[in-house]
A and B are shown apart, each in its own frame.
Chain A
Amino acid sequence: MNAIIISALFGVIMMFCSWGVKSASTQKNVALIGLIVLILANLSQQNGWYVLDIDTKGMLSFSRFGLYANLLLFMLTLLYTWINGDEIAKVGNNAGDYYALFFFILCGVSILTSFDNLIMLFIGIEILSIPLYILTGADKKNLFSNEAALKYFLMGSFSTGILLLGITLIYGATGSFHLTAPVINASTGLAKEQFLLSGGLLLIFAAMNFKVSAAPFHFWTPDVYDGAPTVFTSFMATIVKAAAFIAFFTVFETQAKALGYSWGIILPIVIILTLLVGNITAVFQRSVKRMLAYSSIAQAGFMLFALYGKSEFATEGILLYAVVYSLATIGVFAVLVKMKEHSFEAFNGLGKSQPMIAFTTTIFLCSLAGIPITGGFFAKYYMLNALYVSGAGLWLLITAILFAAISVFYYFKLIQAMYFSAGEPAMNEIDKTYQYKLLLIAIILLVIGVLPSVLFNYLYF
């Protein structure tokens, strides 16, 4: 509750700040303070202290998991803003507006981690999405950015419509918006109004797949990620996506049972399609930004494993995966933002001229590829284990690792460009502090890679 109130409040404050304060660095600092306050507010709720103790009538429920997810996502936003503050100021006219939108997105995030009612899911998704449409089109004079925003808006609202239809059908079946586990008749194996219920769930499934950009609902992703200003792509691909996944996870953790054995058919199909489309298409990209867009589709395929069935590995794994993937992606995008162009050739010779940047980028890419001693390894490990524990066949795991091996191909293409191809990298000036910020992300990834338990301890105490 604290987080929802404070984030909305700071959204408004930032709007006034963008009107009253003209200096971009002051705006950034206000935003950073806001994020710290937000983190503290969330921490205090985790320890049982509320700003306002409102009875939500069961609309929201604040679980340990949800609050902890909040905390992690807020910290990621803090890190993101701290690193990318200057780049945000370079987009458009007034950075304050964007910070305001960030806070509104975070408000949506905190609803999505704590909803207990499908109406709140809908509201959360909307609060999350609308600022994103604006951020995508933030580079007003760039046609690609405009196109991306329009495309995103049209397709996004369509998918929200589908979500709403799904919710309606479920209401028709159960007479309630609450996320309670469906009652299944033991003799028939069906729930009450099975047809309506599964129809509704499938529609929600489709809409959520759209939000997390899983195939076959991924078509907007490359264009939108490519067209949007690079700093905002970084935000979209990480924190927003992670929040959408947590919502996705929460819905189907309780509801998947209603789909019965067909869940075990639908989900693998979507997983394999997502891995296939993401990985295979990424191999053929010539622009790093588009490659990362497809890689984010591929990574979504891995995160979908958590939905297969309930287990400790799934709950811990989805948080770990979200954090590790976000950290690495924020890092890669933070480097990409400094490039003059986005082709692979632009990175040629980076290892020689900017050893520190090249080294940190290597860590990020290794983490995305899931190589040990970076966090990505344990993220993938947890997901694979979750899949196996919840009863998926070994063939699904083997398919997954085949695609993981393919992913090495395109991530390492960038490493090869940096270290093994001679050339002058097309890179803007980078100051020392920026390098240390990147190094910090790399170190966090390495720490998680050796001791992933640091992330989970809080879930249990």
Chain B
Amino acid sequence: MLLFTLLIPFIAAIILLFIKNSKAANIAAISFSAFTLSIVLCIVFTKTTNIDLAWLPQLNSRFLLQADGLAKILLLLTAISFPAILIATAHNQLKNKHIFLSLMLFTQTGLTGVFLAGDALLFYFFWELALIPVYFLCSIWGGEKRIAVTFKFFIYTFLGSLFMLIGIILLYTNTPDHSFAIESFKHATLTSAQQMTAFVLFFIAFAIKMPIFPLHTWQPDAYEQSPTAVTMVLSAVMVKMGLYGVIRWLLPLFPAAAKTASVFIIDISVVGVLYASFIAIRQDDMKRLIAYSSIAHIGLMSAALFTQNEIGMQGVLVQLFSHGINVLGLWIVADIIEQQTGTRSMKHLGGLAKKQPTLAILFIGFALANIALPLTNAFVGEFLMFNSLFQFNPWVALAAGISIVVAAIYTLNMVQKVAYGEVSEMTSTMQAPNKYAQAVLIVLLIVVFFTGIYPQPLFNLTADTLQNLFC
């Protein structure tokens, strides 16, 4: 089963290279990703067996795929995001659409692999594999400044992952049985200095990917310049790679070092949260606003992770999924607006509620989720995360709490400028709404409110990960 989640997008990506007709390519890509989703749903609701195949006998590295609650929830997020993104952006005109779609599905393969790999070398492999197609996607189909911006993004993350590679070498050499399996890594004999070094090496890679202040500088530019479909992948799924790395590798492997470093990391995370929130207020470009708001949310998750208490961890596990869904919804709305009016600048927008009431309602729904209002899914996660931060240090929780207020300011400001007011010149050119995109939005909004009112399924799903981490 697990192998299929990797193989289907991979094979589909190869097939797509040869489907020149863009309409047929769209249909093929969507149906393959929907097929993957159905398999992932099976995996999520049933017990799965690990895949363990020989890979590199000399190095004692194995092709090991395993799925626990953490992997499943992210697998689910990936599998939901891709069909949603592909359907919502199906009407966007791009040249060589089939290659675009093919690269998207290669990205999906890489991401799925990252979340399933139980072997460090394999993890590293997929970690890079997810990045390379994104590099080409952004550089070919992105905005005006795409080449320089994407290159910055690429070099940043590539350098980060090279640091991780050294960390892997350090651990591998010190494992008792010279193996890359995560279980052997846990038994590596390290001095406390070595453990700290390895922790830092891994952390740099994850911090760049998340990104945590001050390593976040690639992100707003990259989000702004990427084609929107790719921005959705980046912010809904790809940033989760960093958080996933922390939960799966960093905390279990270096518990002592993580304790030592936690104060520092929580502090910079909270600084990052505030910094990004305040910058978001001043943004006029919708894409940049959502990008900064995303940095703030991720920073909060990273802070909650390093408190290393059970409540915070539970909150993060839920929020990993919720944040992905919310931000995806916001991006899709932003994309529809941009496609139809030709602008993302909030100065030139206004009156969406009069022109397209359905879209405006959906937009407001996701905006409320972005503020983490009760009844929305983000509330569940954020409540738990703030709880853990409060237990860690009330002052830190207070500082981070300011970000909630600020989030309300900038999100509602965006809603006000885009949805209400006089119908602006740009908005008045909007055509009839895109039915498919709206259908996707409705489905996502249902998920938002369902998991907001009844989050128990998500708790159940991730129970085993929590148990492993804290028992």
A445 to chain B, nearest CB (A): 14
Closest B residue to A373 by CB, please name it: B129
Check B165 against A401 for contact (C-beta < 8 Å): yes
Q: Does A123 contact B (CB under 8 A)?
A: no
Q: Which of A224-232, A256-264, A332-340, A448-456 contacts B (4 or more CB under 8 A)?
A: A448-456
Contact of A384 among B58, B155, B169 (CB under 8 A): B169
Check A412 against B169 for contact (C-beta < 8 Å): no
Check B163 against A401 for contact (C-beta < 8 Å): yes
Contact of B154 among A408, A453, A456 (CB under 8 A): A408
Given A372-B124, A420-B140, A453-B56, decide whether A404 and B162 contact each other with a Cβ distance below 8 A.
yes
B111 to chain A, nearest CB (A): 15
Check A405 against B166 for contact (C-beta < 8 Å): no
Find chain A residues with CB under 8 A from B124 CB.
Answer: 372
Q: Does A389 contact B (CB under 8 A)?
A: yes
Find chain B residues with CB under 8 A from A388 CB.
Answer: 166, 169-170, 173
Q: Does A316 contact B (CB under 8 A)?
A: yes
Q: Does B158 contact A (CB under 8 A)?
A: yes
Q: Does A394 contact B (CB under 8 A)?
A: yes
Q: Does A12 contact B (CB under 8 A)?
A: no
Find chain A residues with CB under 8 A from B162 CB.
Answer: 401, 404-405
A386 to chain B, nearest CB (A): 10
Check A451 against B56 for contact (C-beta < 8 Å): yes
Query: Which A45-66 residues sit within 8 Å CB-CB of chain B?
Result: none
Check A405 against B140 for contact (C-beta < 8 Å): no
Check B173 against A389 for contact (C-beta < 8 Å): yes
Q: Does A435 contact B (CB under 8 A)?
A: no
Check A397 against B154 for contact (C-beta < 8 Å): no
Given A384-B166, A385-B169, decide whether A412 and B140 contact each other with a Cβ distance below 8 A.
no
B196 to chain A, nearest CB (A): 12
Find chain A residues with CB under 8 A from B383 CB.
Answer: none
Contact of A397 among B57, B125, B159, B169 (CB under 8 A): B169
Main secondary structure on chain A at its contact with chain B? Answer: helix
Check A408 against B155 for contact (C-beta < 8 Å): yes
Q: Does B352 contact A (CB under 8 A)?
A: no
Q: Does A195 contact B (CB under 8 A)?
A: no
Find chain A residues with CB under 8 A from B125 CB.
Answer: 372-373
Contact of B58 among A316, A373, A398 (CB under 8 A): A316
B157 to chain A, nearest CB (A): 10
* C-alpha spacing A316/B165, complex, angstroms: 19
Given A371-B128, A394-B197, A412-B151, decide whether A419 and B139 contact each other with a Cβ distance below 8 A.
yes
Find chain B residues with CB under 8 A from A394 CB.
Answer: 166, 170, 197
Check A420 against B147 for contact (C-beta < 8 Å): yes
Main secondary structure on chain B at its contact with chain A? Answer: helix
B40-59 interface mask toward A, CB cutoff 8 Å, 1 = contact, 0 = none?
00000000000000011110
Check B163 against A453 for contact (C-beta < 8 Å): no
Check B165 against A381 for contact (C-beta < 8 Å): yes
Q: Does A281 contact B (CB under 8 A)?
A: no
* C-alpha spacing A401/B124, complex, angstroms: 15
Find chain A residues with CB under 8 A from B129 CB.
Answer: 372-373
Check A409 against B139 for contact (C-beta < 8 Å): no
Check A385 against B173 for contact (C-beta < 8 Å): yes
Check B140 against A397 for contact (C-beta < 8 Å): no
A442 to chain B, nearest CB (A): 15
Q: Does A36 contact B (CB under 8 A)?
A: no
Find chain A residues with CB under 8 A from B155 CB.
Answer: 405, 408-409
Closest B residue to A381 by CB, please name it: B165
B169-189 interface mask toward A, CB cutoff 8 Å, 1 = contact, 0 = none?
110110000000000000000
Check A371 against B154 for contact (C-beta < 8 Å): no
Q: Does A255 contact B (CB under 8 A)?
A: no
Find chain B residues with CB under 8 A from A343 CB.
Answer: none
Given A316-B58, A388-B170, A451-B56, decide whether A405 and B128 contact each other with a Cβ distance below 8 A.
no
Given A372-B124, A420-B139, A420-B140, decide whether A405 and B159 contact each other with a Cβ distance below 8 A.
yes
Find chain B residues with CB under 8 A from A412 CB.
Answer: 151, 154
Find chain B residues with CB under 8 A from A287 CB.
Answer: none
A367 to chain B, nearest CB (A): 12
* C-alpha spacing A366/B128, complex, angstroms: 12
Q: What are 7 residue pairs bridging A and B, where the CB atoms are less than 8 Å apart in the complex?
A: A371-B128, A371-B158, A372-B128, A388-B166, A401-B165, A416-B147, A451-B56
Query: Interface residues, chain B, CB within 8 Å of chain A?
Result: 55-58, 124-125, 128-129, 132, 136, 139-140, 146-147, 151, 154-155, 158-159, 162-163, 165-166, 169-170, 172-173, 197
17 additional A-B pairs beyond A384-B165, A397-B169, A420-B139, beta carbons within 8 Å, are A372-B125, A372-B129, A373-B125, A373-B128, A373-B129, A384-B169, A385-B169, A394-B166, A398-B163, A404-B162, A405-B155, A408-B155, A419-B140, A420-B146, A451-B55, A453-B57, A453-B58
